[in-house]
Amino acid sequence: MSKIYGLTGGIAAGKTTVLKIFKEQGCRIFDADKVARQVVEPGTPGLKQVVKQFSKHILLPNGSLDRKKLGRIVFSDKRQLKILNNIMGPLLRSTIVQIIDDAKKDSSSTINIFEIQLLFEGSYQEYFDATIAVYVEPEIQLERLMKRNDLNKQAALDKINSQMPMTEKKQLADYVLDNSHDIASLKNEISQLLKQL
């Protein structure tokens, strides 16, 4: 049976870079953000449920979901956001759990890494063989986020503070990768971790 590990971390911690390195090292990669897009593709029961709730105005001319328009609706109204999360939550969980089950049934010795931003918040840790948190020093996280998203300090802090603190994720995880240094240091950390998995 294949092993599958849940990967998480704070915003701008470098999860995408970490996933890329794991892939280069021969791991199979899964991404919850991609799953979230797949469950609302045209023709899916997920998109039908979202349209039933929010009307056809949230569709692009080609029939796919207009994420920006839906975002404007739900992020300005907590009640609407809750409704959307109640639709998306079960769809996401059932799809993610199915992917995990399929990966575990694989008879190869491939290591699978599944990146889920809200791994602990959504209680997904129970499905994995172990969890990995990508950690970065708070001042580096702030600097990276401001630069990456072209945000001022307050806007970046608001985004960071809306999430579970990285220190908490670090404590909850079975393994921690510190991405506060350069890429060579990160690659070395990942190589060392792979020997343990």
In the chain, the domains with their CATH numbers are: 3-27+110-196 (3.40.50.300)
% pLDDT > 90, the chain: 65
pLDDT(2) > 90: no
Give helix then strand counts, H and E, for the chain.
9, 5
Q: What is the mean pLDDT of residues 155-159?
A: 82
Describe the crossing of helices 45-54 and 67-74 by its angle, rounded to 10 degrees: 50
pLDDT tens for each residue of 34-66: 999 999 999 999 999 999 999 999 999 999 999
Q: How far is CA 109 from the centre of its chain?
A: 24
Higher pLDDT, 95 or 164: 95
What's the pTM?
A: 0.84
Tell me the average pLDDT across 9-22. 91
